[in-house]
Structure 1
């Protein structure tokens, strides 16, 4: 259904701060993960048929970061494994079967700007405000490769499927927008660097592993450039550019199984145009006259069935995504439902650290309660200190009397 929605249309509005990122679950189509300035990550279950009233209660609230949470990413092959990156410079790995963080990646020295997985989710690439690009083994938190990007200030990173390559977007030393291609096993130097233009907005990269197409969309302008990625030099072949006068603030994409294969649609963006309060779909269509299914542009693609359980992945198992064909169109075959765990535990301990020990208050009432508790604690400690001072003076006096008294024969 298209058109303008009502001003009072129901919303998901349970966070106490600005929402900074949202991601749909790749295996359960009515589950969303969100993160916010209120330091929480929340899991929402959208009812069948959509929202009928404002949703304020999440099925799961996850607290473990000590500062606001800027990014969330679902693991690409494992069900109920979620990654979150906070302004405390930490990445937490959540097992939603138990509703707790099970691993913490603590190798960054500044705010994490972007996270991207390789095809089987065995590697995590991150870009960071400390001007470093990292490839991390997520279960151990070990940094496998690290690049100090002095000439190419990295903002966004994306794994290019199973090609063992990474693509980053950023800014050159001359403040021009730039892209760079890297070998994931050697980040000492980029394979290629290419300047795009002199505009200042972020470049969002999107990669389609099925067609080997790279899309670059600029924040603040209305253009989307597309390239073909090759295995040999020059690696990047510029194809064309979609132009629009309406500037985009952000873009979402439709999963492959939601595309119109009868129209040879290979990619679909949802473009956020804040000036008009509009979300505009943009379809990338391959012009074909034949009405038969086009096998060459629709190979087997990652589907909606998870390849691993959380316990399997955490034990060290890696597995490629389970593939599906788009020939018959999308049929909802997955019967997976999300079951929120029942939790009674008050502390969240990862790597021997209680993550909830210093979690800041999330609402004004919590802040006041914490303030009054701290005032009571300060008064109690002052009284205790005063009593100890009195006791010390008494002991000093007794000691003095003992020294001054004549010795007993």
Structure 2
């Protein structure tokens, strides 16, 4: 393994150290699935941890007819998780606060559109309810899970099995890696390939790719001599990588986990007993090896905790949930500092739960960066104003308006002397009821108008999506007529 050494580079992450939690803090008696799939097999958020299989006495989500190949928590609702399966379906589940007390067999939404097993899930980072799926049918599907509708289908982009899919930070484009060894940058709404790099890695083993916050792409793969490799790409020019490093000669697929807040990348190899971490900078050599965490037992998979869940009081900047054969072991990445004050340089504002766009806004062509929140003082989950699985804002409470009317009425009564007659009090009560009745009518009319506007936006989005679908089918028909297919 070779990395650039020499002049000591200044970085607040140079001394990041990893530490496994104590045995009593691990989750024991968990039997990890034996399915042969190069996925993470574990997903974690500030509320829950989900893995492919657990002990029989533990309540499970068990609605699929085949093994589950991928699971991903929704970035805009910590109670919602998507699962992809060999049964060719994707299911959306709503997990109650406090977890499961009985097995869950009925999904909130079932998405059916793939003809072969589905192994990849990717929630849109900023648009509510948009979910991308990829299957062994070499097809990319984009869904509005609020309506259960397939809004885009890219069936003629990949000639072979798709290995990985990742949205960019705003969710306007995606990058994919494929069994044909190509790295592609795709506009999913137009269904067009913007950039392609053939043989991004020469080796035949699976590749992975992730978008960085500044728009660059980091990939992991294998050289022609079967050495594991890490490469950084500029999306404006994919002719040559900006940087490339050979890691070692192990044959486990490297799973990259990227943290946009620290510009750090963590590499977990399936079957390895190490986690390597790097810092990505804007100056050559761009990729800086920091350190590695080693343990005695190899990992079957790993879950990367959302930044909202780390412990800022301990200067924890990342946390993994490492899958063993029979347990889940948390591993904390920490910057050693003595001060008890909030370390603002370690915790820039991070993406929160609130989506930047509704599904219909993104389908109509809008893009937006994530809405950021402060990590100062830790993170408390705010009450959501969105119904995640319905794709429309919840009705905002109108209590403030009614309260102000009641308060002014009470003040009026207080300022009026005891000389009020019973008839005057009756007139007051009647006026109050009329005012409240008018407010209620106004509220109902506002609710009705909001619902109508929401339905109009949804219908407009459906029309746009179907129009694009017709264009794709017309292009395919034209190619068939020309003998290209």
The two structures have a TM-score, normalised by structure 1, of 0.81
Work out the CA distance in 2 between the residues paired with 1:258 and 1:93. 28
Work out the CA distance in 2 between the residues paired with 1:90 and 1:123. 16
User: Is residue 114 of structure 2 the alignment partner of residue 90 of structure 1?
Assistant: no
Could you tell me which residue of structure 1 aligns to residue 453 of structure 2? none
2:72 to 17, 20, 23: 23
Cα drift, residue 201 of structure 1? 0.3
Please give the per-residue CA displacement for 1:148-178, whole angstroms capped at 9, x wherever unaligned.
Answer: 11653461001111x2211100010001111
| 1:23-62 pair list within 5 angstroms | 23-62=72-111
Cα drift, residue 3 of structure 1? 4.6
Contact 1:221 1:247 in 2 (8 A): yes
Work out the CA distance in 1 between the residues paired with 2:387 and 2:144. 15
Unaligned regions of 5+ residues in structure 2, if any?
1-24, 30-54, 392-464, 474-485
User: Is residue 171 of structure 2 the alignment partner of residue 121 of structure 1?
Assistant: yes
Work out the CA distance in 2 between the residues paired with 1:304 and 1:296. 22
Cα drift, residue 24 of structure 1? 0.2
Distance 1:69 1:3, change over 3 A: closer
Q: SS where residue 152 of structure 1 aligns?
A: coil
Please give the per-residue CA displacement for 1:164-223, whole angstroms capped at 9, x wherever unaligned.
Answer: 211100010001111111111211211122110010001111111111111111110110
Could you tell me which residue of structure 2 aligns to residue 407 of structure 1? none
Work out the CA distance in 2 between the residues paired with 1:97 and 1:14. 19
Could you tell me which residue of structure 2 aligns to residue 145 of structure 1? 195
Aligned length: 346
Could you tell me which residue of structure 1 aligns to residue 285 of structure 2? 234
Work out the CA distance in 2 between the residues paired with 1:62 and 1:227. 37
Work out the CA distance in 2 between the residues paired with 1:57 and 1:235. 47
Cα drift, residue 58 of structure 1? 0.3
Work out the CA distance in 1 between the residues paired with 2:235 and 2:200. 18
Please give the per-residue CA displacement for 1:30-49, whole angstroms capped at 9, x wherever unaligned.
Answer: 10001101010100111121
| 1:213-224 pair list within 5 angstroms | 213-224=264-275
Could you tell me which residue of structure 2 aligns to residue 4 of structure 1? 28
User: Is residue 372 of structure 2 the alignment partner of residue 323 of structure 1?
Assistant: yes
Work out the CA distance in 2 between the residues paired with 1:151 and 1:304. 35
1:268 to 312, 316, 319: 319
| 1:363-374 pair list within 5 angstroms | none
Unaligned regions of 5+ residues in structure 1, if any?
342-347, 356-409
Cα drift, residue 249 of structure 1? 1.3
Q: SS where residue 387 of structure 2 aligns?
A: coil
Work out the CA distance in 2 between the residues paired with 1:3 and 1:67. 33
Runs of 4+ in 1 over 4 A off after TM superposition: none
Contact 2:212 2:218 in 1 (8 A): yes
Please give the per-residue CA displacement for 1:72-124, whole angstroms capped at 9, x wherever unaligned.
Answer: 11000001000000111110000112111001123111111101111111110
Distance 1:134 1:117, change over 3 A: same
Q: SS where residue 190 of structure 1 aligns?
A: coil
Contact 2:230 2:244 in 1 (8 A): yes
Could you tell me which residue of structure 2 aligns to residue 255 of structure 1? 306
Please give the per-residue CA displacement for 1:324-346, whole angstroms capped at 9, x wherever unaligned.
Answer: 001021111142333459xxxxx
Work out the CA distance in 1 between the residues paired with 2:127 and 2:285. 34
Please give the per-residue CA displacement for 1:207-256, whole angstroms capped at 9, x wherever unaligned.
Answer: 11111111111110110111111101100111111111110111111111
- Higher relative contact order by CA 8 Å / sep ≥ 6: 1 or 2? 2
Contact 2:352 2:373 in 1 (8 A): yes
Work out the CA distance in 1 between the residues paired with 2:251 and 2:142. 33
The two structures have a TM-score, normalised by structure 2, of 0.69
Higher strand share: 1
Higher helix share: 2
